[in-house]
Structure 1
Amino acid sequence: MSKKYYSIGEVSEKTGVSVRTLHYYDEVGLLTPAKNEKSGHRQYEEKELITLYKIISFKSLGFSLDRIKELLKETNSTHSLLDAFQLQKEIMLQQMKSLEKNINTLNQTIELLKDKGEIDSTILMSLIYSLQTEDKQKEWLEQYIDKEALDQFYEKIDTKRDDINKGFVEFSEKLKELYGKPVDSPEVMALVEECYQYAMNYIDEDVMEVFAGKVEAEDLENLDFKQLQNIAPSPFTKEEEKWFDQVIEYYMTKYAEQEIDDSNEE
């Protein structure tokens, strides 16, 4: 009984794989059919069709062509395929997690742009990068702060994420506008106070109690903020950051003095 051969066009029509792709599979040694001695045209047997369907299946599961070439040699080993499928599942779960994070970041950014309209691109990109690296930021903070306390803190933050993103943008824009003014100017102090009160609105008593019980003061003193800046770069220039550090230092000094005065009055 003579063998049944299929032309490359017939194979393309039967499988939905383009002629161009079949040519490429032949070039890289993934699927190499025999050649007609007279015409030189590729001719596929049933075994090549079966192999092609395997390639299609592996590709649909996200395997690379190089890995598919290896798997085609291992299809007789159920154990090898099981290991490959389990590993691919883990890879795809990680990809799914990354995709979900990207979609979540896009949703937050879209809502922010709808609400705010024009936003300084440096500030916007800083916010996006911060959202994308939040897991790394949490890992960094876990060096100094109890994980349970951090998890509760982020759970609270997640419920108010849109407002917090909006506040970050508005505060950053105002800070850039005030850059260069004397650190003790009423405008600057008012902005820092506004920011402080704004932050306190999103850190309720339950969260503060958790931190108070599980965060040591000496741990907070050891925070290496340069590491954090590498994970989530700020939207400010070095000159703006230096000025802002002076602003915060002055504010904290003034706040401490006010606390002492209030205590003496009592």
Structure 2
Amino acid sequence: MEDSREETREEPKQETPKETLVSLRSVTRSVTLPDDQQLHILKGIDLAVYSGDHTAIVGRSGCGKSTLLNLLGLLDVPTSGELEFLGQPADRLGNNARARLRGSTVGFVFQQFNLLPGRSALDNVITPLFYAKGKEFWRRREIAMDMLDRVGLAARATTMPNMLSGGEQQRVAIARALVRRPRLILADEPTGALDVETGQSVMALLDTVATETAAALVTITHDTNVAALARACYRLDSGVLSPLSVPAAAGVGA
């Protein structure tokens, strides 16, 4: 007897579209020099940063990396072009509105750590939570301690920065950047002051936490080995951004 049952086929799963956190279209940034000449730092930048992605931007010193990071982090606005952050035109937001959005949405990790020298590791991580509201503010110590535990430094909570190793200081800086669960993490040369092994550990930690929280991670670096850990890579050269193909990393900081 023939089997009359119809063969059922599974429909291919469609990926959920990623949310665009930051979008730059034809963005330029120029400054006026003392002799009234224009210095063109960024020239026609097109870039989209999506939720859950890890993007790397590679460039030498003086190529405009810091200027681009300032735009992505709402510290500055373009001279021309369009910059949208969570669908809002950045140039239409006042300084206070940009500061509020930046404080609740963006986390910064810097090469030099920028920890407060007279404060313990825990106090450094708590600092961003003083700008929080409601339960997040009242539970700030507990939240900060949980984040220190996430980066493996719960036992060093009361230690001052000058008693921490370089890798430990960077992990405190990462905990501070992530304590408010930012949607966008901007890491500016995060392994530049670290040895190879510690740099690998720091990048793995950043990538893991960003993936778990569905945050976008943008790494600004001169090191192609660091860039190779990202899923999308770009080169910034003389203010011009272009896609970059990077081979698998041999070792961060190598």
TM-score, normalised to structure 2, is: 0.24
| Higher relative contact order (Cα pairs below 8 Å, separated by 6+ residues) | 2
The structure whose Rg is larger is: 1
User: Higher strand fraction: Structure 1 or Structure 2?
Assistant: 2
TM-score, normalised to structure 1, is: 0.23
